[in-house]
Amino acid sequence: MVDFLIEEPLVLLFIVSGLGYLLGRIKVKGISLGVAAVLFVGLAFGALSPDMKLPTVLVDLGLIIFVYTIGLSSGPGFFASFRRKGLRDNTFVLLMLLFAALLVVAAASLFSLRATVAAGMYAGSLTNTPALASVLETITRTAPADQLTRLETEPVIGYSVAYPMGVIGTLIAVYVMQRVFRIDYLTEARSLRQYNVVEQDLYTRTVRVTNPRAVGLTVSELVRANEWDVVLSRFRHDGGTTLATGDTAFALDDLVALVGTPEEVDKAVAWLGEPASVQLELDRSEYDFRRMFVSNHEVVGRALNELNLPQQYGAIVSRIRRGDIDLLAHGDTVIELGDRVRVVAKRTDMPRLAALFGDSYKALSEVDLVSLSLGLALGVLIGLIPIPLPGGVVISLGLAGGPLLVGLILGAMRRTRSIVWTIPYSANLTLRQIGLILLLAGIGVRSGYTFFTNFSASGGLQVFIAGAIITMTIAFLTLFIGYKFMKIPFGLLTGMLSGLCTQPATLGFSLQQAENELPNLGYALAFPVATITKVVVAQLLLVFLSR
C-alpha cells in the first residue's frame, strides 16, 4: 500500500484531503480542527516513508492560488486599514517577530544548537517556508563544498521538528484565548460595520416629515450634517411617489422611506418627524424592486454614482447582497462581480437595468482565466525578483509573498480598463479552499517522516521543546497584548496572528471560529510584513550565530 501511494501521488493527495476533511468535521466540546486537519493527516501519511511526497508543483500551485485569492478579496480592506491603524498594527507584528528572534538566540545558547539548526527552528516555529528557503540559499552560496550536504540538512531538521508545534501552538492559543476573553465574534463584527464582514440587520421604515429644520435641505445635506448611515429610497409628495436622490429636498408632511440598521433608521426617523402608518416599500404600483446579479464586467469595479442610475434609468440601488452579507448601497459603494443589487425602479425600466448589470447566474460560474492567469503569473514573477540587502544578503518575496502582494494591489484596483481582476465571491472561496488543501496536504506529507525520525538526532528533542516554547510564547503574547492593550478586535487579531506565523491552517481555524471575514483582513494586513521580516531575520540569525 505504501509503495502504491508513493507511485501514485494523486491518489495520496485525494486520500489525505478526504480523510483530513472527515477528521476536521469531528467536534469535541463544540470545536473542530476544520481544514487544518488535512495537515495532520498528511503528517501521519508522510511518516510512513521518506519517499512519500506530493509533487512540488502541486504544493506550490496551492500556495500561489491560496495567497492570491486572499489578496484579491482583502485588497480594498488592506489599504483602507492604513488610514486607520495599519501602520501601528504592522509595527506590532514586526516587534513580535524580532522578539521571537531573541528567543531563538537564547534557546541556541541554552541548548548549544548549531546556527543552521537554530535558523531552521526560527522558520519552523513561525511556520515560514520562504524563510527556510532563504537560509538554504545563503548556505549554498557561502558554505564550504566539503560541508555543504551536512549544512543544508540541519536547517531542514530544525524546521521540520519545530513546524508541527508551530501550527498546533497557534491553534491552541486561539482556542484558549477566545475562551479566556469570552469572545462573542458576532457582536464584535457587528460593532465593526466599516469592515462589511457580517450580516447587517437592515429594515425599512416610512417617516412623515414634521421637523421644520428638514424643509429645504437636500438629502445629501441632511445625511452629511447628521452623519446618518441610511439610504433614503422613495418619497411621496402631494400624492405622487418618486425616488429620492442626493438633490431631493423635502416639504412638511412628505412621506420618506428609509433603509438601514434599526438604530440608524430610528435615529433618522426621530429627527425627521414621526413614524408613518403607510409603508411606501409595500406600494409597488409605481415603483417595483428586484434583485439582480452583477455579471456584466463593464460595471464591475465602478462606484454606483458613476452609473448615474437616477438620471439615466430612473432607478436607485438600496442594498447589495455580497456573499451572505447585506450592505447598504451608498454612492461611493463599489460594485463587485457576483453582487446581487436590489434595484428600485419602474417595471418598464427593469429590462434595461437587467442588461446593465448582466443579471446572469450562468455568467458568474465562469472565471475569467485571462485576468486570473495574468495575475498569478505577475505574482510569481514579482516573487522571483532578488532584493539585495546590506551585507551581501539577497532575499525575495517568493511564491508566498509575490502573489499575495500582487493580489492585494489588483484587488484594490479591481479593474484596469477592460480587464477585471476580481473574481466572483463563490469562485474565490472555491479556489481558496482548493489551494489551501493542496498546500496543507503537501506540507504535511513532506514534513511527516523528517519530524518523526529526527527527535533523537541533531538535538531533535531540544529543538522541539524550544520551538514549542517560542511558538506558544509569541502566540499567547500576541493575542494578549493585541486584545487587552492595543484593543485590536479579536477576530482581526487571530488573522494577524495567522499572518505573523504565515500559517494558513491557523487562518482556516480562525475563520471557522469567527464565521466572518475579519481574520482574512488581519491575515492580509500582517502577512506581507511578516514574510519579508522572517526571510531577512532568518538569514541574519544564521550569520550572527555562526560567529
> What pLDDT is recorded for position 137?
67
Contact 403, 385 (CB under 8 A): no
Give, as one character, the DSSP assignment of residue 211: -
Question: What is the mean pLDDT for each group of 10 consecutive residues in the chain (547 residues)?
Answer: 87 92 77 71 86 86 86 77 76 94 94 89 84 73 71 76 85 92 81 59 88 89 88 87 87 90 89 89 84 88 89 90 80 86 91 91 79 93 81 69 86 85 84 86 78 64 90 96 92 90 79 80 79 81 82
> What pLDDT is recorded for position 430?
87
Contact 234, 244 (CB under 8 A): yes
Instruction: Fill in the amino acid letter for 80.
Output: A
Strands (E), 155-314: 203-209, 231-237, 240-243, 255-260, 273-275, 288-293
> What pLDDT is recorded for position 227?
86
> What pLDDT is recorded for position 481?
96
pTM higher than the cut 0.85: no
Q: What's the rounded Cα separation, in Å, for the pair 255 and 335?
A: 29
> What pLDDT is recorded for position 188?
77
> What pLDDT is recorded for position 146?
73
CA pseudo-torsion sign 145, 149, 150, 156: positive
Q: What's the rounded Cα separation, in Å, for the pair 370 and 248?
A: 43
